[in-house]
Amino acid sequence: MSKLLLVLLIASVVYGVYRISRVYEAADVEERARAREAASEVAPEASLPALSPQAEATLAAATAAGAPALKTWLDANARFIPEPRLSAIQLDYAQVLIRSNPAEARRIYNAVKARTPAGSPLAPRLSRLSKTFQ
């Protein structure tokens, strides 16, 4: 009889471990689904108009150099950039600037928010950043 109980105990432990592993697998699948949803929220910004390869390269260099270089780049090139993309770049600049000059970052954010319609690809990003700039 004790051998039967031992076998039942071992079987119960194995089954319990199996069920717990299934719960963790389900949680992992849900986490991956949430990550895909978060990535899909960013996708509309990918539909923004592209810049010329030269402009993209200079923008990347200015972004890497920091806020002053990005400000100089924006001042020199803003008139050549189509509107939804210009707003996205200005939001990037405001995010870089928020620690060193929060008042200027808020001013830029509010200017972008004022000229961005509700159906714009930037609307989700503006709503995500609203608490940062308020």
* Domain shared by 69 and 102, yes or no: yes
pLDDT, tens digit, 9 for 90 and up, residues 88-121:
999 999 998 988 899 999 999 999 999 988 888 8
* Domain shared by 64 and 101, yes or no: yes
Indicate if the alpha-carbon torsion angle 102, 104, 110, 116 is positive or negative: negative
pLDDT at 41: 54
* Domain shared by 56 and 78, yes or no: yes
* Domain shared by 26 and 80, yes or no: no
- Tell the burial category of 124 from Cβ atoms under 10 Å away from its Cβ (0-12, 13-18, 19+): middle
* Domain shared by 56 and 105, yes or no: yes
* Domain shared by 68 and 95, yes or no: yes
Range of the domain at 3: 1-46
Task: Determine how many CB atoms are found less than 10 A away from the CB of residue 96.
Answer: 18
pLDDT at 45: 59
pLDDT at 71: 92
* Domain shared by 17 and 83, yes or no: no
Decide which of 61 and 40 is more confident: 61
Q: How many separate domains does the chain show? A: 2
* Domain shared by 57 and 121, yes or no: yes
* Domain shared by 107 and 117, yes or no: yes
Distance of CA 134 to CAs 103, 106, 127, 130, 131, Å? 10, 7, 11, 6, 5
pLDDT, tens digit, 9 for 90 and up, residues 45-97:
566 777 888 988 998 999 999 889 999 999 999 898 888 899 999 999 999 89
Could you tell me the pTM of the whole model?
0.65
* Domain shared by 100 and 34, yes or no: no
